[in-house]
């Protein structure tokens, strides 16, 4: 299966290479969505390409998911970081492109299938995916998780089943959406007493996490996304999901095929950078962007923070 997918991806890329007209060497427009991680990733792409001598322009942030994706398809922007499951459950099905069931629960399959289909149908090329997973999860204070040996959602399930008064501070989306809390409860066999859940309006995760840290006597768990910067800020930990209750959302640069064929060095520049971005790394650097400070606590823009990242990991000279 892995060999077949690899062949499919290469074939799709080659079809684009032979079937498309080579683009002129124009300025490469870098976009992003409008939240902390996306501003960080967009600026990492921009700074890295600019330092390599390419003509680039940053439109970071550009807009919400649907707007940014449409801009990539139409050529209004040329590259941005997208998430594997977002393409699998949103972008490709919207075009009538079938993504097989079960793909989004496996990191390798999700990336391989999405990359192959997007290349073949849309001439959108997925570069190296980061190992981080920015999906719905739950968080706990580090000291609480260590004291109770909580590492996976199976551990969380055992704890909740043994402690029926366990309390959760959440947002209303996580508690009401079918792909939120219910997926973990159904997959791992536990259920929070709904009287012990406080749901805040909207989709924000920073406020529940702040209350979890500040009110240790009131809550044991909070809602989270896998790479929230506030996890590092408040010293919270998240839990492994070995049974795949949630789709896997790994970010990767998406670039228009004609741009990559005109500037093939883009892959060599960005692939090793995204390979460094595990969950803990993104949590930390997202926290800097969210707080508007660098590692020293000094005021800094998202572009400055992205540059610091590239210097620290050896991709730019200090």
User: What are the structural domain ranges in the chain?
Assistant: 2-133+249-312, 136-238
Instruction: Please tell me whether the overall predicted TM-score, pTM, comes out greater than 0.85 for this model.
Output: no
Q: Which CATH superfamily is domain 136-238 in?
A: Osmoprotection protein (prox); domain 2 (3.40.190.120)
2-133+249-312 and 136-238 in the same fold: yes
pLDDT exceeds 70 at position 4: no
Please work out, in degrees rounded to the nearest 5, the angle formed at the alpha carbon of residue 187 by the alpha carbons of 184 and 189.
90
Confidence at 270, pLDDT banded by 50, 70, 90: very high
pLDDT at 261 over 70: yes
Confidence (pLDDT) at 11: 46
Phi, psi dihedral angles at 108 (to 5 degrees): -65, -50
Cα separation, 49 vs 308, in Å, equals 15
Residue the block writes with tokens 């870098």: 30
How many angstroms separate the CA atoms of 163 and 144, rounded? 14
Report the pLDDT averaged over residues 181-206: 92
Q: Who's near 199: CB < 8 A, 6+ residues apart?
A: 170, 171, 172, 174, 175, 176
Instruction: Please name the CATH architecture into which domain 2-133+249-312 falls.
Output: 3-Layer(aba) Sandwich (3.40)
Q: In this structure, what are the phi and psi dihedrals at residue 224, rounded to the nearest 5 degrees? A: -160, 160
- Per-residue tokens: 314: 């050896």
> Quick one: which H or E segment has residue 280?
helix 279-291
Give every CB contact of residue 12 below 8 A, 6+ residues apart in sequence. Answer: 116, 117, 119, 120
Residue 277 has a pLDDT of 98
Q: How do 168-171 and 221-225 pair as beta strands?
A: parallel
Which of 280 and 277 is assigned the larger pLDDT?
Answer: 277
What angle do helix axes 279-291 and 36-51 make, rounded to 10 degrees?
100
């Amino acid at each position: 299966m892995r060999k077949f997918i690899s062949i499919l991806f290469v074939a799709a890329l080659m079809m684009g290479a032979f079937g498309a007209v080579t683009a002129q060497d124009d300025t490469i427009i870098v976009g992003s969505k409008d939240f902390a991680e996306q501003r960080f990733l967009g600026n990492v792409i921009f700074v890295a390409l600019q330092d390599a001598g390419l003509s680039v322009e940053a439109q970071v942030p550009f807009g919400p998911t649907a707007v940014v994706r449409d801009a990539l398809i139409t050529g209004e922007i040329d590259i941005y970081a997208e998430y594997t499951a977002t393409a699998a459950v949103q972008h490709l099905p919207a075009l009538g492109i079938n993504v097989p069931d079960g793909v989004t629960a496996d990191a390798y399959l999700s990336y391989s299938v999405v990359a192959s289909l997007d290349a073949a149908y849309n001439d959108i090329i997925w570069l190296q995916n980061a190992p981080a997973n920015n999906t719905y999860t739950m968080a706990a204070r580090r000291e609480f998780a260590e004291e109770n040996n909580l590492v996976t959602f199976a551990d969380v399930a055992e704890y909740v089943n043994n402690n029926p008064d366990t309390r959760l501070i959440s947002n209303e989306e996580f508690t009401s959406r079918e792909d939120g809390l219910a997926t973990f409860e159904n997959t791992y066999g536990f259920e929070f007493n709904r009287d012990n859940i406080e749901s805040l309006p909207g989709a924000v995760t920073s406020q529940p996490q702040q209350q979890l840290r500040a009110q240790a006597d009131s809550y044991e768990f909070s809602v989270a996304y896998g790479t929230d910067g506030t996890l590092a800020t408040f010293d919270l930990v998240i839990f492994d999901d070995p049974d795949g209750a949630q789709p896997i959302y790994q970010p990767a640069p998406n670039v228009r095929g004609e741009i990559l064929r005109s500037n093939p060095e883009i892959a060599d520049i960005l692939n090793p950078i995204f390979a460094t971005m595990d969950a803990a790394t993104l949590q930390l650097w997202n926290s800097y962007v969210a707080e508007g400070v660098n590692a020293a606590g000094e005021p800094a823009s998202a572009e400055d923070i992205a540059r610091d990242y590239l210097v620290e990991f050896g991709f730019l000279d200090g």
